[in-house]
Amino acid sequence: MSEFSVVAVLLVGFLGGVHCLGMCGSIVGIFTTQLPADRARWPFHLAYSSGRIASYAVAGALVGSVGQAGFLMRDAVPVQHLLFALSSTMLVLLGLYLSGLWGVVRRIEKLGGGLWKHLQPFTAKLLPVNTVPRALSLGALWGWLPCGLVYSVLVTALASGSTVQGALIMAAFGLGTLPNLLAIGLFWEKIKGHAQSPRVRMVAGLVVMAFGVYGLYKVSYTFYVHGWAGACHVAA
């Protein structure tokens, strides 16, 4: 399942660009206005996204470790399959959110509010962003900004049951978001009208939902063939 998860979250990160426009567009806009006018913008944006992706990977490693600890119960309960079913369900909900059909994912963003209150004051100390290291540090902090899209994918990292796999899954997700965030920073005025189109949002949401439905099908098939006890010992 891990190969499927990595490919899925890579595409989820890319398709989630319709969410990034609303969630991160203003943030990246503020970041862009802080950049030195006499220097190229792309190194700053690349450094910012590198810091953000690094934070995603750290978060993925942390939740992957939690999932790995849960696998100690796999002889009694098919933990990995249950977690994979949960992550697939989250992809379905995320698809509904991206398509504009149901915004339940927004409620998940409140989970990270407490942590962000402690980190947000440090972002002000890094402005103005007049050096690449500052952009990297700012990206690393903003990587912990409460985001329903990120939290949905973290469930997939949790389901991986591995510290390394969890980090790889979140890094893949971050790389998927990279083209959109770079485009927002460099060509915001040219792309915002197209990317915010209801048709684009609907297509992106339906594709993400398809990944979730396929994941649920795989889990259901495993239980249908092997049953509850057999699923505990089937390799993912």
Spatial separation of the C-alpha atoms in residues 232 and 211, rounded to whole Å: 23
Provide the pLDDT for residue 180: 80
Q: Does residue 17 sit within a domain?
A: yes
Number of domains in the chain: 1
Q: Does residue 44 sit within a domain?
A: yes
Are the C-beta atoms of residues 87 and 6 closer than 8 Å to each other? no
Provide the pLDDT for residue 146: 84
Q: Does residue 32 sit within a domain?
A: yes
Query: Tens of pLDDT along the chain (236 residues)?
Result: 456 678 888 888 888 766 666 566 667 766 777 777 778 888 898 999 999 999 999 999 999 999 888 766 555 456 777 888 888 898 898 888 888 888 777 777 777 778 888 888 888 888 888 899 999 999 999 899 888 888 888 988 988 888 999 999 999 999 998 888 887 777 765 655 555 677 877 888 888 888 889 888 888 877 766 665 555 544 44
User: What's the pTM value of the predicted model, to 2 decimals?
Assistant: 0.81
Provide the pLDDT for residue 236: 45
Provide the pLDDT for residue 149: 84
Spatial separation of the C-alpha atoms in residues 87 and 149, rounded to whole Å: 12
Run of H or E including 127 = none
Q: Does residue 105 sit within a domain?
A: yes
Q: Does residue 236 sit within a domain?
A: no
- DSSP secondary structure code for residue 76 in this structure: T
Chain mean position to CA 121: 23
Chain mean position to CA 26: 18
Structural domain including 181 reads: 2-231
Provide the pLDDT for residue 135: 92
Spatial separation of the C-alpha atoms in residues 56 and 182, rounded to whole Å: 17
